[in-house]
Amino acid sequence: MTSEQRISQQRRRVADWSGFMVTVTVGVLVVWAWVATDIDTGRLADSGGRIGAFLGRMFPPDWSVLPTVIDGSLETFHIALLGTIASIVLSLVLGVLAARTVTPPFIHMPLKWLLAAIRAIPLILVAMLMVGAVGLGPLPGILAIAFHSTGMLAKFYAEAIEGIPAGSLAALDSAGATWLQKLRFGAWPLIAPDLVRDTLFRFELNIRESLVLGLVGAGGIGFYIQTYVRTFQYDKAATLTIVVVIFVVLIELVNHVVRAALK
């Protein structure tokens, strides 16, 4: 046996062993979670009737609240849209600064950590802080979305910029292109489709996530979700659910079409 064969055999053995360890670890975690949360399967079985009654109260949906629910959904849409646009502006600046190929390590490394930290803070928490800072209404929602999604968007932008092959820009340098010309004719055509795709993806996430903003007073449809469910008006909640589902599916369809066109 050559040394290469021996090494590849060793590697294979390590791979087999690590696969087994992953399986065992996942198994232990599941058992731990099950025991710790003290789930009573009997209760789930008994509650069948209650779930039926509960669903029954959602039917028929109360369509009288339709205008209100549509208004609320539109407000959510506007919050997500403005928040995303604000995040694009922030991310363009931070994305360029966080790109390994553009700035020295003492700038791009701390920035990447900062973006990771921003991503780690849940939106609902950011929204609560923003409500505290600027008061109730759509504004704190917009600010929360802008802040929260910049953590992801700026990272995506930085990665797109890092993916630009250095040679392509050197060629423009050699032709005597200015810095702005290099950006316009070199970097932009190379990364524009990626940026648009990433941004649409984030916009879709922002729409979904901003549905809950109203729970903490940061505007949009979430306010009505809370109101109808807490006051047991399930027929109204049913109308709301239908509108939200249609709304989210529509946005997804539009995104899908645009993304397909970008290929």
Partner 1 sequence: MADVAQQILLSEIAFSYRSQNARVLDIDRLSIDAGEQVAFIGATGAGKTTLLRLIDGRLFGWTGRAEVLGRTLSPRRAAPRNWNANIGFVFQEYALIERSTVYQNVRNGRLGRTHSALSLVGLFSDRDETAVTEAINDVGLSDLADQRVDQLSGGQRQRVAVARCLAQEPKVLIADEPVSSLDPTSAEKVLDLVRACAEARGATLLISSHQPKLVAQYVDRVVGLKEGQIAFDTPAGAVTPEQLGSLYGWHVADTAARSA
Q: By the criterion CB under 8 A, which residues form the site for partner 1? A: 165, 167-168, 170-178, 180-181, 184-186, 189-190, 192-193
**Is 135 or 165 the residue whose CB approaches partner 1 more closely?**
165
Q: Minimum Å distance from CB 162 to partner 1?
A: 16
**Is 191 or 225 the residue whose CB approaches partner 1 more closely?**
191
First to last CA, the chain: 48
Q: Minimum Å distance from CB 142 to partner 1?
A: 31
Q: Which long-range contacts (CB under 8 A, 24 or more apart) does 106-113 make?
A: 108/158, 112/155, 112/158
CA distance 184 to 191: 11
Q: Minimum Å distance from CB 12 to partner 1?
A: 35
**Is 154 or 172 the residue whose CB approaches partner 1 more closely?**
172
Q: Say if CB 123 and CB 145 are below 8 A apart.
A: yes
**Is 153 or 172 the residue whose CB approaches partner 1 more closely?**
172
**Is 164 or 242 the residue whose CB approaches partner 1 more closely?**
164
Q: Minimum Å distance from CB 255 to partner 1?
A: 21
**Is 49 or 167 the residue whose CB approaches partner 1 more closely?**
167
Q: Minimum Å distance from CB 87 to partner 1?
A: 25
Q: Minimum Å distance from CB 168 to partner 1?
A: 5
Of 167, 168, 146, 150, nearest to 158 by C-alpha is 150
Query: Hey, how many other C-beta atoms are within 10 angstroms of the C-beta on 85?
Result: 15
Instruction: For residue 144, give every residue at least 6 positions away whose Cβ sits within 8 Å of its Cβ, in sequence order, or none.
Output: 83, 123, 126, 127, 129, 130, 213, 218
Q: Please report how many Cα atoms fall inside a 13 Å half-sphere around the Cα of residue 215, on the Cβ side.
A: 13
CA distance 95 to 201: 17
